[in-house]
Chain A
Amino acid sequence: MNDMSPDRAERSEKLNGLGCSRKRVEDARFTQGKGNYVDDIKLDGMLSGDFVRSPYAHAKVVNISTEKALEVPGVLAVLTATDLEPLNLHWMPTLAGDKQMVLADGKVLFQGQEVAFVVATDRFAAADGVEAVDVEYEELPVLTDPFEALKSDIVLREDLEKGADGAHGPRKHHNHIFTWEAGDKDATEQVLSHSDVVAEEMVYYHRTHPCPLETCGCVASMDKVNGKLTLWGTFQAPHAIRTVVSLISGIEEHNIRIVSPDIGGGFGNKVGAYPGYVCSVVASIVTGKPVKWIEDRMDNLMATAFARDYWMQGKIAATKEGKITGLWCHTTADHGGFDACADPSKFPAGFMSICTGSYDIPTAYLAVDGVYTNKAPGGVAYRCSFRVTEAAYFVERMMEVLAIELNMDAAELRRINFIRKDQFPYQSALGWEYDSGDYHAAWDKALAAVDYAGLRREQAERIEAFKAGHTRKLLGIGLTHFTEIVGAGPVKNCDILGLGMFDSCEIRIHPTGSALARIGAISQGQGHATTFAQILASEIGLPAESITVEQGDTDTAPYGLGTYGSRSTPVSGAATALAGRKIRAKAQMIAAYLLEVHDDDVEFDVDRFVVKGAPERFKTMKEIAFAAYNQAVPGIEPGLEAVSYYDPPNMTYPFGAYICVMEIDVDTGEHDIRQFYALDDCGTRINPMIIEGQVHGGLTEALAIAMGQEIAYDDMGNVKTGTLMDFFLPTVCETPHYTTDYTTTPSPHHPIGAKGVGESPNVGGVPAFSNAVHDAFRAFGLRQSHMPHDQWRVWKIANDLGLHN
Chain B
Amino acid sequence: MSKQQQYRIKVNGQEETITAEPRELLIYTLREHLNLTGPHIGCETSHCGACTVTMNRKSVKACTVFIAQADGAEITTIEGLGDPDVLHPLQEAFREHHGLQCGYCTPGMITRAARLLEENPDPTDEDIRFGMAGNLCRCTGYQNIVKSIKAAARTMNETREAAE
Tell me the A residues contacting B by CB distance below 8 Å: 23-24, 26-35, 37, 39-40, 42, 72-74, 122-125, 128, 211-215, 262-265, 267, 294, 296-297, 524-527, 689-690, 692-701, 723-725, 729, 731-733, 735, 737-738
- Bound together, the chains give a CA A599 to CA B90 distance in angstroms of 51
Smallest distance from the beta carbon of A586 to chain B beta carbons, Å? 35
Please determine whether A696 and B48 come into contact, CB atoms closer than 8 angstroms. Answer: no
- Bound together, the chains give a CA A735 to CA B143 distance in angstroms of 8
CB neighbours (8 Å) of A738 from chain B are: 141, 143
Pick from A27, A34, A297, A735: contact of B100, CB under 8 Å: A27
Pick from A32, A267, A695: contact of B79, CB under 8 Å: A32
Smallest distance from the beta carbon of A413 to chain B beta carbons, Å? 30
**B159: Cβ under 8 A from any A Cβ:** no
Interface positions of B from 25 to 74, Cβ below 8 Å from A: 28, 31-32, 35-45, 47-48, 50
CB neighbours (8 Å) of B138 from chain A are: 211-213, 265, 267, 697, 701, 729
- Bound together, the chains give a CA A524 to CA B136 distance in angstroms of 17
Smallest distance from the beta carbon of A685 to chain B beta carbons, Å? 15
Please determine whether B129 and A27 come into contact, CB atoms closer than 8 angstroms. Answer: no
CB neighbours (8 Å) of A693 from chain B are: 98, 101, 139-141, 144
CB neighbours (8 Å) of B101 from chain A are: 265, 525-527, 693-694, 697
User: Mostly helix, strand, loop or mixed at chain B's interface?
Assistant: loop
Please determine whether B102 and A213 come into contact, CB atoms closer than 8 angstroms. Answer: yes
- Bound together, the chains give a CA A267 to CA B138 distance in angstroms of 9
Contacts A32-B79, A33-B77, A124-B21; is A723 near B102 (CB within 8 Å)? no
The contact sample of 8 A-B pairs, CB cut-off 8 A, is A24-B95, A27-B94, A31-B87, A32-B38, A42-B32, A122-B32, A729-B47, A732-B133
Please determine whether A731 and B102 come into contact, CB atoms closer than 8 angstroms. Answer: no
Contacts A31-B91, A213-B42, A265-B139; is A732 near B145 (CB within 8 Å)? yes
Please determine whether A732 and B110 come into contact, CB atoms closer than 8 angstroms. Answer: no
Q: Name the residue among A39, A74, A214 with the largest chain B CB count within 10 angstroms.
A: A214
Pick from B24, B31, B45, B50: contact of A723, CB under 8 Å: B45
Which residue of A is nearest B41, CB measured? A39
- Bound together, the chains give a CA A128 to CA B144 distance in angstroms of 42
Lowest 10 CB-CB distances: which A-B pairs, in order? Answer: A33-B38, A525-B102, A30-B103, A264-B104, A696-B141, A33-B78, A525-B101, A724-B47, A700-B141, A27-B95
**B105: Cβ under 8 A from any A Cβ:** yes
**B7: Cβ under 8 A from any A Cβ:** no
Please determine whether B98 and A731 come into contact, CB atoms closer than 8 angstroms. Answer: no
Contacts A24-B98, A213-B48, A732-B129; is A37 near B38 (CB within 8 Å)? no
Please determine whether A31 and B100 come into contact, CB atoms closer than 8 angstroms. Answer: yes
Pick from B24, B94, B106: contact of A124, CB under 8 Å: B24
User: Mostly helix, strand, loop or mixed at chain A's interface?
Assistant: loop
CB neighbours (8 Å) of A731 from chain B are: 132-136
CB neighbours (8 Å) of B105 from chain A are: 213
The count of A-to-B residue pairs whose CB atoms sit within 8 angstroms is 182
CB neighbours (8 Å) of A40 from chain B are: 31, 37
Contacts A265-B139, A738-B141; is A35 near B28 (CB within 8 Å)? no
Please determine whether A32 and B37 come into contact, CB atoms closer than 8 angstroms. Answer: no
**B137: Cβ under 8 A from any A Cβ:** yes
Please determine whether B102 and A264 come into contact, CB atoms closer than 8 angstroms. Answer: yes
Contacts A30-B103, A124-B24; is A690 near B40 (CB within 8 Å)? no
Pick from A28, A35, A700, A729: contact of B95, CB under 8 Å: A28
CB neighbours (8 Å) of B83 from chain A are: 32
Which residue of B is nearest A696, CB measured? B141
- Bound together, the chains give a CA A468 to CA B101 distance in angstroms of 48
CB neighbours (8 Å) of B102 from chain A are: 212-214, 262-265, 524-525
- Bound together, the chains give a CA A697 to CA B143 distance in angstroms of 9
Which residue of A is nearest B77, CB measured? A33
- Bound together, the chains give a CA A265 to CA B40 distance in angstroms of 13
Which residue of A is nearest B128, CB measured? A732
Please determine whether B103 and A26 come into contact, CB atoms closer than 8 angstroms. Answer: yes
**B96: Cβ under 8 A from any A Cβ:** yes
Which residue of B is nearest A29, CB measured? B103
Which residue of A is nearest B137, CB measured? A213
Contacts A697-B139, A729-B138; is A297 near B42 (CB within 8 Å)? yes
Which residue of B is nearest A740, CB measured? B143
- Bound together, the chains give a CA A497 to CA B145 distance in angstroms of 40
- Bound together, the chains give a CA A731 to CA B132 distance in angstroms of 8
- Bound together, the chains give a CA A692 to CA B139 distance in angstroms of 12
CB neighbours (8 Å) of B133 from chain A are: 731-733
Interface positions of B from 71 to 130, Cβ below 8 Å from A: 77-79, 82-84, 87, 90-91, 94-96, 98, 100-107, 110, 128-130
Please determine whether B103 and A724 come into contact, CB atoms closer than 8 angstroms. Answer: no
Please determine whether B140 and A123 come into contact, CB atoms closer than 8 angstroms. Answer: no
Pick from A24, A124, A697, A723: contact of B140, CB under 8 Å: A697
Which residue of A is nearest B93, CB measured? A31
Smallest distance from the beta carbon of A720 to chain B beta carbons, Å? 16
**B1: Cβ under 8 A from any A Cβ:** yes
Smallest distance from the beta carbon of B37 to chain A beta carbons, Å? 4
